[in-house]
Amino acid sequence: MSTTMRMEAGSANGLGAIYDGEGTNFALFSAHAEAVELCLYDSAGQQELGRFLLPEKTHDVWHGYLPGVGPGTTYGYRVYGPFEPHAGHRFNPNKLLTDPYARGFQGEFKLHPSNYGYRVDSDEQDLSLDVNDNAAYIPKAVITSPGKQSYSHVKALTPWHQSVIYEAHVKGFTCLHPDVPESLRGTFAGMAQPQVIDYLKSLGVTAVELLPVHAFVDEYFLQEKGLTNYWGYNTLNFFSPHAPYLGGAGAESFREFVDRFHQAGLEVILDVVYNHSAEGNHLGPTLSYRGIDNASYYRLLPGDRRFYINDSGCGNTLNVNHPRVMQMIMDSLRYWAGEMGVDGFRFDLAAALGREPQGFNSQGTFFQMIAQDPVLAGCKFIAEPWDLGPGGYQLGHFPPGFSEWNDRYRDTVRRFWRGDDGQLPELARRLHGSGDIFEHKGRRPYASINFITSHDGFTLRDLVSYNERHNEDNKEDNNDGHRGNLSYNHGHEGVTTDPEIEELRWRQQRNFIATLMISQGVPMLLAGDEFGRTQNGNNNAYCQDNPINWLDWGNLDDNAQSLIAFTRKMLHLRRVFPVLQANKYRHLPDDPHDDSIQWINSDGKLMREEHWHERDCSTLGYLLTEKGEHADVLPRYMLILFHSSDLPIIFKLPKHLGNKWRRVINTAAKDFQQDRRAVEVHHSVTLAPKSVQILTAGEVPD
């Protein structure tokens, strides 16, 4: 490459580095910069090849075109402007910055004082200016070839009401998997292995929701402790796949992974973090957005713009109300849905995306942009409906087209199976799809993403094994993570050899899975819960890149194998009994043309008002009727009996139906396979302590 080449004006249309077959156009937004310098490096990102001032600024976009520069070349920016922290400006041309629109990176982010825009040893802290160059310690952006829209040959597109989500981590799922070649473990190619796909299909899930796969870096305080940001909620760039997950390959390995999932009928949903970046608070490093245009990219305190509004709890909050920041988010979503073929997105701390100057607005700009975008049409959208900002809890307030993580479901089901009093009314509302929360503006039961556990908190096994968190390995003196987990150790904290406690713990795991799979709404299962994965009581394992988080596929004993079989059976029942996959809320039990839901007391009769107010009542019958599309088709029935007491109870079966009942599930069976045959029952059943029984009547497939 000639260092004497002349940069042409180029175009402000299309941010990032865009190769057209003959050269590359560079465009970077910065409203407050005084000059922008492009620094080119070799393909290894080590040797600087030249520096070029971007010659033009159009509508706050700095741009230039270099003929002869193409894919494989690495680059970064140095941005000139005022260093006035109290005014919100933190320009420092001594810092090489990553392009927010980069499609790939070369090199690793390294812990070094020069990555800060200020002198870390100065008494003035971030009010001082650091003049040391950081180019050797930050990854370089890579110019890539243009991608293709709609890369995947097949779009899975499972209807929302038939969806079952499986939340997984790319590395954690594959790192110890015996059927994944060692060279592919921890990568997208490892996730795409036939044995992995076959396993997911055999469970009966329809979509895998991956923890963040956007390029992320470790926080300095974690690196200093010898820990890492394992979960990935510390995004450096919203367009580039996390390099370690590529395993040395290019972004095409992610596209191939998505394509293989689609060919198997599986969807891919990404957990995305558009609420904050990896640059932290005013004492954080200067890596990209802060040095490009701090006052535009971030929400700053009005009284002193030196400081950041921290609605995310991670040090900063992206300023989604700025049109260029909103454009970046939308361009990112379109890239992953269009070129990468992704089926949906789960928005971390999504309340931050809907917060406008007057507060959270379900009809705000972000939601309107998504609703009208043709590339995103048909994608699934899931909100984590809270953040730490004012009015930050917004469960049920997202617009039609969004589903939401339902923590009310999680907490209610945990309380019920823990044995808390007075849970029946709340349990019924959650089983019914949380219509009290979501049934407005045409929203459907699938607006509720039902879950018992997620990456954040206890695993299912730990939920029934620990009363307290055990996060000592996080090196924060066990002060991090949730204090209240609504968990119960059943008489012993942690690992035990007591056979009675062990049997009860496995039964409780079956109870939770059964409850999840028969509830109206969309079930989400945490990877490994189907075989009893433990994190040894750590309920905030975000920084543990080790066996605490890695799924141990080589140590699945009989109990684990039985729980996998149980999970498969429950998902099979969900598929063959469509009334469990509600596409609408049902309120008319006497409508002869409609399916119905009824609530049954232990006397075999409909629940009466006084029954709902019996705080010590811990037994509930959940009767689902499926009447079919034609009048001459006999109805089918499913009766689910929940019993969370420590004592057994006799439950009389409804007489008015006139059907012979068959028991297909009894979670109290030590090996549920023994009770797998359809046992005929007639007048009543005995419910063991803390158990679920599922009975069917009519023509229900085995």
pTM, 2 dp? 0.96
Whole-Å CA distances, 691 to 64, 416, 509, 513, 519: 68, 12, 10, 12, 16
DSSP 588-638: -TT-TTS-EEEEE-TTSSB--HHHHT-TT--EEEEEEEE--SSTTSPPEEE
Output the six-digit token pair for 614.
């019996």
CB count in 10 Å sphere of residue 677: 11
Q: What is the pLDDT of residue 668?
A: 96
Per-residue exposure over 266-286, b if at least 16 CB sit within 10 Å of its own CB, e if not: bbbbbbbbbbbbbbbebebbb
- The C-alpha atoms of residue 397 and residue 374 are separated, in whole angstroms, by 24
Q: What is the pLDDT of residues 528-565, one digit of tens each?
A: 999 999 999 999 999 999 999 999 999 899 999 999 99
Q: Could you give the CA distance from residue 360 to residue 275 in angstroms, rounded to a whole number?
A: 14
For the chain, the straight-line distance linking the first and the last C-alpha, in angstroms and rounded, comes to: 68
pLDDT in tens, 147-189: 665 544 445 579 999 999 999 999 999 999 999 999 999 999 9
Q: What pLDDT is recorded for position 660?
A: 82
pLDDT of residue 481 exceeding 80: yes
Whether 331 is a known active-site residue: answer no
| Full 3-state SS string of 401-424 | CEEEEEHHHHHHHHHHHHCCCCCH
Cα 106 from Cα 675, distance rounded (Å): 56
Phi/psi-derived region of residue 506, left when phi > 0, alpha when psi is between -120 and 50, beta in every other case: alpha
pLDDT at 56 (0 to 100) = 97
Whole-angstrom distance, CA of residue 692 vs CA of residue 621: 10
User: What b/e string do you get for 423-450 counting C-beta neighbours within 10 Å, with b at 16 or more?
Assistant: bbebbbbbbbbbbebbbeeebbbbbbbb
Dihedral sign from CA coordinates of 37, 42, 44, 47: negative
Q: Which listed residue (126, 267, 311, 384) is catalytic?
A: 384
3-state secondary structure 646-676: CCCEEEECCCCCCCCEEEEEECCCCCHHHHC
Specify the pLDDT at position 591: 57
Which tens digit of pLDDT belongs to each residue from 627-669?
766 555 667 889 999 999 999 999 999 876 666 889 999 999 9
Stated length of the chain = 702
For position 151, what pLDDT does the model report?
46
488-512: average pLDDT: 97
Task: Give the C-alpha separation, 152 to 144, whole Å.
Answer: 19
Rg (CA), the chain: 27
Q: What pLDDT is attached to residue 627? A: 78
Is residue 279 part of the annotated active site? The answer reads no
Write the pLDDT tens digit of every residue in 96-134: 999 999 999 999 999 899 999 999 999 999 999 999 999
User: Which has more pLDDT, 1 or 380?
Assistant: 380
- In angstroms, rounded to a whole number, what is the distance separating the alpha carbons of residues 664 and 419? 24
Separation of alpha carbons 664 and 696, rounded Å:
7
The pLDDT of residue 691 is 98
Q: What percent of the chain has pLDDT over 90?
A: 88
pLDDT reported for residue 5: 81
Instruction: Answer for the pair 629, 575: CB distance below 8 angstroms, yes or no.
Output: no
Please list, in sequence order, all residues whose beta carbon lies within 8 angstroms of the beta carbon of residue 429, skipping any fewer than 6 positions away: 412, 435, 436
Residue (of 695, 697, 683, 625) closest to 655 by Cα position? 683
Q: How many percent of the chain have pLDDT more than 70?
A: 94
Active-site option among 126, 267, 348, 426: 348
Span 594-626, pLDDT tens digits:
668 899 999 999 999 999 999 899 999 999 988
> How confident is the model over 241-251, as a mean pLDDT?
95
For 199-212, b where at least 16 C-beta lie within 10 A, e where not — what string? bbeebbbbbbbbbb
**Lowest-pLDDT range, 409-423, 433-447, 486-500, 590-604?**
590-604
Partner residues linked to 662 by β-bridges:
680, 696
Q: Specify burial of residue 345 (Cβ count, 10 A radius: 0-12, 13-18, 19+).
A: buried
**What is the mean pLDDT of the segment spanning 423-447?**
96
Show Cβ contacts of residue 446 under 8 Å, excluding neighbours closer than 6 positions: 160, 161, 163, 403, 433, 521, 522, 582, 583
Mean predicted lDDT score pLDDT of the chain: 93
For 672, what's the count of Cα atoms within 13 Å in the CB-facing half-sphere? Answer: 29
Residue 675: the pLDDT is 52
Q: Which of 282, 358, 280 is nearest to 127 (CA)?
A: 282
pLDDT given for residue 594 in this prediction: 60
Residue pair 240/182 in contact by the 8 Å Cβ criterion: no
- How many C-beta atoms surround the C-beta of residue 123 within 10 A? 7
Who has greater pLDDT, 675 or 54? 54
